[in-house]
Chain A
Amino acid sequence: MSVLREIVVLSGKGGAGKTCITASLGAVLPEAKVFCDADVDAPNLELLLAPEILEEEPFESGLRAEIDPGACTGCGRCEAACRFRAVVVRDGRARVDAFACEGCGVCALVCPERAVSFVSVVQGRLFRSRTVLGRFEHARLRPGGANSGKLVQLLRRRARETALREGVSVLLVDGPPGIACPAISSLAGANAALLVTEPTDSARADLLRIAELAGRFRVPFGIVLNKADLSREGARRTEELCAERRWPLLARFPFVEEIPRCIARREVPAKPLGEELHHLAERLSLLLPKAAECRMGV
């Protein structure tokens, strides 16, 4: 039986090309694969993979306080105790701001009237889909939703299960931007990470932060320099940074106007990425044996 290799595509900075690289890599990798979109609050991979949804279920996570207006006397103890400024007393009655409430229960602990109860919150929906390139696990967080890190964890677990059940050896995870909870949840325990960057000062600063995070989680990673021709000087600096830190620079892609056109047609932009995409697929396998060693604690 083949070992499952889970590769997560991250960037720190948004808009570097994570989704395009994930989908295109999936299109050229010869092995069977499963896709997972871990950018749950701005999920775009579904726009390229045209999924046929097989299963759908709500993602319930966390609680939200509700206050019985008949029992509440407006004493304000809940407002004073809430650390998230989620309870405000107005017109003699406590009201809960659904966006701010974390469901911690402190308001109920201090309420002398027992006026607080809790309801579970649907933070989004989970989908299990089929695409022409392979199975696809994705989700949509409700706008303004919380617990995206937990949703990503759940999504990755589902994707691993699907991969193992289908006997698939590669799991490609399209990660979120940033370095906080959903990025951490995408990275932790992955076999390898591709860090997509641009030849700009901003992207380089963000690359340093996401690389530090990957290092902390001991996930081996390689760099993909996207839109490299937009700044010759910027590309040189990024290459220097990679050389200095001994980060493997796995591929360089130019900025190609055909890519946004492909996205507009909802096509995977593998073709405009050219030969270099195939090189990236090959070099990825060079990164992966290291991943296996790393997992065994070498």
Chain B
Amino acid sequence: METIPITLPEERRKVPFRLAVASGKGGTGKSCVAASLILAAEDRVLAVDADVECPNLGGLLDWEKWESAPVRIPRPQVDPDRCDGCGACADACRFSAMLVFGKGPARVNDLCHGCGACALVCPKGAIFEEGVPVGWMTRGRGRGRDVLEGRLSVGQANPVPVLEELLAVAVGKGRDLVVDCPPGTSCSLVAALRLCSEALFVTECTPFGAADLSLALDVAEALQKPAMVVLNRSDLGDGGAEELCRRRNIPVVARFPFSRAIAEAYASGIPPYLVDEAWRSAMDALWAELKERSR
């Protein structure tokens, strides 16, 4: 995979921490928590938007985009002059991405995972790989914080290469990271969590939120990442999420009741940290604790 030439001021710190803000269920307030925590942090933190299918962190930080670069994945290309249609590539491909008809040259379709097996087995050396763009990485700055955003192009099926490239670049900076993760509990959450050191899960307190939080905690456990929870809209729903955290021994670091004022501010891109005292003090305290722990 090609390295993206994005330059951010390097900083040397002993143990930078990399906090994943994730959720399981979507729309529970991940980006609000991530943006608020970033505002509570000192300005050396790097805000990373890893929700590459629907990135919204930059908007909440009112950012100005500075520089973008495409993220590419390797795609096989077949040299029709060298290919004799032997079919070795189609036999080797586990994803049915190479098709050979008769003696015609092999053709590649969208099922390609970019694993390189076809080029490896081609006896004629007819397959070479070329980077094709599947998304964008953008850096910028907003509300006094550096922001790095990954964005999958519409129509692309696999968000993981964009996520991995984004996190590799972010981790390479050696700074504290707050990573706004994608919702769900599948491969994209795994890709984001793998490169983070701990996870903060934001849940709403309905049975929906609790059920999805439980699955997300399973992922964190399997990857051996310590987890914490924020209970959002804690007054709407039931006690299921709270009970789940107690049972699984997961610390609840904040509880926020529903607020129309917060919802209205969020609607126009203003994170809760800037409009609500309870959010501000909780996020300041959480940041202080995270810093203390990473020392």
> A interface vs B, CB < 8 Å?
12-16, 19, 40-44, 47, 62-63, 81, 83-84, 99-100, 102-106, 109-110, 141, 143-146, 148-149, 176-184, 198-202, 205-206, 209, 212-213, 216, 227, 230-231, 233-234, 255, 257, 260-261, 263-264, 266
Contact = CB atoms under 8 A, between A and B. Distances in A.
Nearest to B263: A230
Interface of B: 1, 23-28, 31, 53-54, 56, 59-60, 74, 92, 94-95, 113-117, 120-121, 152, 154-159, 182-190, 194, 204-208, 211-212, 215-216, 218-219, 222-223, 233, 236-238, 258, 260, 263-264, 266-269
B237 A264 contact: yes
B116 A145 contact: no
Contact of B152 (A13, A180, A198, A264): A180
B264 A13 contact: no
B92 A144 contact: no
Residue among A149, A177, A227 with max Cβ neighbours from chain B (10 Å): A177
A263 B54 contact: no
Main secondary structure of the interface of B (DSSP, over half): loop
B266 to A, nearest CB: 6
B208 to A, nearest CB: 4
Given A42-B26, A143-B222, A144-B219, A230 B157 contact: no
A44 B211 contact: yes
A263 B205 CA distance: 10
A143 B189 CA distance: 10
Given A41-B185, A99-B190, A149-B157, A231 B263 contact: yes
A144 B260 CA distance: 34
A138 B198 CA distance: 31
Residue among B215, B260, B267 with max Cβ neighbours from chain A (10 Å): B267
A179 B54 contact: yes
Report the 7 A-B pairs with minimum CB-CB distance, sorted nearest first.
A14-B26, A15-B27, A231-B267, A104-B115, A178-B53, A143-B218, A234-B267
Contact of B115 (A47, A83, A176, A205): A83
B54 A206 contact: yes
B281 to A, nearest CB: 24
Given A102-B113, A200-B266, A145 B237 contact: no
A1 B219 CA distance: 46
A269 to B, nearest CB: 11
A216 B266 contact: no
A42 B267 contact: no
A41 B215 contact: yes
Contacts of A83: 1, 74, 114-116
B207 A266 contact: yes
A109 B116 CA distance: 11
B85 to A, nearest CB: 20
B59 A260 contact: no
B31 A202 contact: yes
B229 to A, nearest CB: 16
Nearest to B55: A205
B207 A103 contact: no
B120 A213 contact: no
Residue among B27, B182, B212, B258 with max Cβ neighbours from chain A (10 Å): B27
